[in-house]
Structure 1
Amino acid sequence: MAAQVLSAAPIPSIHTPRPIIRTPTPSSSKPNSTPSTPFTSRFPDGIKTSGQHAPLYDLLRPYEQFPKHITGPTVWKAEDYKDQPGRWTHRFTPEQIEELSDAADAFLANGLPLTGISKETFPLPHLSAFLESVRSELVDGRGFILFKGFPTWAWGNHKSAVAYMGLGTYLGYFVSQNGRGHVLGHVKDLGEDPTQIDKVRIYRTNARQFFHADDADLVGLLCIARALEGGESDIVSSHHVFNVLQAERPDVVRTLTEPIWYFDRKGETSRGQDDYIRTSVFYLEKGENGRVYTKWDPYYVRSLTRFSDAGIIPPLSAAQQEALQVLEQTCLRLALHMILEVGDIQFVSNSQVLHARTEYKDHPPTSSFPRRHLMRLWLATPEGEGGWKLPFHDSFEKKRGGIQVDDTPPVCPLDAE
């Protein structure tokens, strides 16, 4: 794939710290599209998404303490997997589909809302052991898996969402993905202007998404409908990228380890919070032998000119401009390309994998084919349950990261809104 220049407008065998920005200005939330909830709490499990936060600056390490070369299962090359999909895909067996289907039917029969899904309300006595191995691979290994054969065409969106979230609860805790409290997200073109990057979230457009990490430990994407053209996925081991940059451009790595990067909150902030966060791109975990954790999204870095033009924050330096270009070009050069078919589920760890999406074109409105649609999950894996030891104050919180605006409750719309 040819390198692209970043611009302000549109871009298994199973085994493995990500920073987080700060949170949204309340927007009115539409009612949950699932059955009415019997819970009286705004947060059915009593736990609120922690939200975006600046790092604990006294825990950040200087470039000199970062490794010169990373080894281990988190480091992989595209050529390791390109022609061997069996190494990173798992096709659900008929027995596994039946177990998911039965659990989803039972959950629906109980009349619970999607926000009430947990291991207790969605038991998977046989599949759970396998999903534990998947979680281990995601958190401590290569950091990605592609499931195939999830029968969305037979189940429809509601049951598919239940089964998808039920599966996800064995991998992590659901966190809110935007200021409206969506814990079931929808990647879909809503016709918003992707050039308005200080206001618009790119997942709501058909623009290219450059390599980035989301504000959660894990991200899941269930393909409901494909685009007419494009919308294909690229992933890359950020540890392999780190090694290549250390060998080719250590000056770029140094720049990326410095807490000089401002990330936009795009208005998704709680009362009293800043509109941006100062952070690094590469971190080290807390403690001895800390792993390199990556926090990155060029759209959130490039969208802050309204503040830098006003002299509130410094503009990107020449070194930073070069670093973001070199990082993107290196990711493109090293990436593994994949196409999500209907019924595929991709899970990726944001700690040691960066992901991207090509620009896409939907079927025309007069077509009988639906628009491209992915259901998205953001999942937290807290430090106390084997997650990465992040230099953030919420590292031990069950629902660390995500985006939380004031006390906006979690909701699970069944389509984009």
Structure 2
Amino acid sequence: MTALTQQPSAIPLDVFPDGLKTTGQHPPLYNELHPFDKFPREISGQTVWKAEDYRDAPERWTHRFTAEEIEELSTASDNFLHNKIPLTGISKSNFLLPNLAARLHELRADLIDGKGFILFKGFPVEQWGNHKSAVAYMGLGTYLGYFVSQNSRGHVLGHVKDLGEDSTKIDSVRIYRTNARQYFHCDDSDIVGLLCIARALEGGESDIVSSHHVYNVLAQERPDVLKTLTEPIWYFDRKGETSAGQDDYIRTSVVYLERGENARVYTKWDPYYVRSLTRFSDAGIIPPLSAAQVEALEVLEATCNRLSLHMILEVGDIQFLSNMHVLHARTAYTDYPPPMPRRHLMRLWLATPEHEGGWKLPFWDSNEKKRGGIQVDDQAPVAPLDAE
């Protein structure tokens, strides 16, 4: 029996106000990984969708907040601010949404086990300003999952914004802090949320794809590529965001199976974190990418591009995506010249532990409330209101 918990029993509340600590990045349980012949030949169900199913039917994947829903979010936010609770301590118990809660419960199920995406519209960010907007956004997120840290600084409220960092230094720079293209990937959480605070002058648009549809297409067209993606021969960079004693990289596969019966296919992928490891492969510490691996990552990206659904986030839009069976990308962008604000998205990474309906992942922390994310030693969670 594989142990699925290693968390310390006592978590200091003065450091982690909600009593929960992000578990962080870890290697998979290698004995829970399976050879290609154990994978399904075809995936079926709601998680398999085609762009043409939704491209001309935005009503199937968008929801405009009603006046009553905005009022409920506003009241809950005002009450939270009045009680002077740290933003890192926000939870369903101190952010009450008596009417929206049922709708969000349905949405959570659709994100985890259904199509895996939604676009909310009409969130009044310009009226509320960054602080109240952040409270309302994080409060909304607590009904979908537990927020986890997104970097070594403990940011549980992230900010996707160009900070002028060099996007070519992929071994140290996180691409979300640049204006470069983001290739199809998923984040280190079960659900990712993006709230648009300010748009770019041009670009910065979103593409998403069902990784289960991609799987089916590869199974038909390039089963050799799919087999390569299921093999635990891939190394993912930690980019220096490691706790004491941890390796700088993780050996894993790209495509997994859940644990247990009726196991679903789960994809965990980011090409930037695979291509950035030449400092170790050049030194002979890890093997370089093989020709088959290079071809696999190129075929995977091309297939995602071919099958993707395009969407544009306007100011006040919130996109929530599953990281278990949806891959997402972003086009490169150009900001408005000063004094206009730069493109700015507030980001949430949310965890859904298996005992609360989350997927049974082949990782030791699968049953932890704040599974995944990035946690360095005992770095406290912080929720800055802008990029830093």
TM-score (norm 2): 0.97
| 1:394 paired to 2:365 | yes
Question: Counterpart in 1 of 2:203?
Answer: 230
Question: Counterpart in 2 of 1:42?
Answer: 15
Counterpart of 2:122, as a letter, is: G
Question: Counterpart in 1 of 2:143?
Answer: 170
Deviation at 1:289, TM superposition (A): 1.2
Q: Please give the residue correspondences for 1:186-265 in structure 2 after superposition, counting only pairs within 5 Å.
A: 186-265=159-238
Per-residue CA deviations over 1:131-151 (Å, capped at 9, x if unaligned) read 000000000001000000000
Deviation at 1:112, TM superposition (A): 1.1
Per-residue CA deviations over 1:283-320 (Å, capped at 9, x if unaligned) read 00001110000000000000000000000000000000
Q: Over the residues paired in the alignment, what is the CA RMSD in angstroms?
A: 0.7
For residues 59 and 112 of structure 1, what CA distance do their matches in structure 2 show? 41
SS at match of 2:376: coil
Question: Counterpart in 2 of 1:127?
Answer: 100
For residues 329 and 164 of structure 1, what CA distance do their matches in structure 2 show? 34
Counterpart of 1:117, as a letter, is: I
Per-residue CA deviations over 1:222-260 (Å, capped at 9, x if unaligned) read 000000000000000000000000000000000000000
Deviation at 1:40, TM superposition (A): 5.3
Per-residue CA deviations over 1:93-130 (Å, capped at 9, x if unaligned) read 00000000000001001111110110011010110000
Per-residue CA deviations over 1:380-416 (Å, capped at 9, x if unaligned) read 0001100000000000000000000000000000000
Per-residue CA deviations over 1:182-225 (Å, capped at 9, x if unaligned) read 00000000000000000000000000000000000000000000
For residues 42 and 226 of structure 1, what CA distance do their matches in structure 2 show? 34
| 1:364 paired to 2:337 | yes
* Unaligned ranges ≥5, structure 2: 1-11
Question: Counterpart in 1 of 2:356?
Answer: 385
Structure 1 outlier segments of 4+, above 4 Å: none
Query: Match for 2:60 among 60, 73, 87?
Result: 87
| 1:410 paired to 2:388 | no
SS at match of 1:277: strand
SS at match of 2:360: coil
For residues 130 and 45 of structure 1, what CA distance do their matches in structure 2 show? 24
Per-residue CA deviations over 1:42-89 (Å, capped at 9, x if unaligned) read 001221100000000000011001011100000000000000000000
Question: Counterpart in 2 of 1:321?
Answer: 294
Deviation at 1:176, TM superposition (A): 0.1
Counterpart of 1:410, as a letter, is: P
For residues 411 and 166 of structure 1, what CA distance do their matches in structure 2 show? 15
Query: Match for 2:271 among 298, 319, 323?
Result: 298
For residues 60 and 275 of structure 1, what CA distance do their matches in structure 2 show? 21
Counterpart of 1:395, as a letter, is: S
SS at match of 2:92: coil
Deviation at 1:263, TM superposition (A): 0.2
Deviation at 1:41, TM superposition (A): 1.7
Counterpart of 2:45, as a letter, is: G
For residues 297 and 334 of structure 1, what CA distance do their matches in structure 2 show? 18
For residues 118 and 46 of structure 1, what CA distance do their matches in structure 2 show? 11
Per-residue CA deviations over 1:130-181 (Å, capped at 9, x if unaligned) read 0000000000001000000000010000000000000000000000000000
| 1:67 paired to 2:40 | yes
Question: Counterpart in 1 of 2:311?
Answer: 338
Counterpart of 1:161, as a letter, is: A
Question: Counterpart in 2 of 1:354?
Answer: 327
Counterpart of 1:391, as a letter, is: P
Counterpart of 1:56, as a letter, is: L
Counterpart of 2:36, as a letter, is: Y
| Alpha carbons 2:189, 2:372 under 8 Å: kept | yes
- Structure 1 residues 40 and 255: alpha-carbon distance in aligned structure 2, compared to 1, 3 A threshold: closer
* Unaligned ranges ≥5, structure 1: 1-38
SS at match of 2:93: coil
SS at match of 1:120: helix
Question: Counterpart in 1 of 2:7?
Answer: none
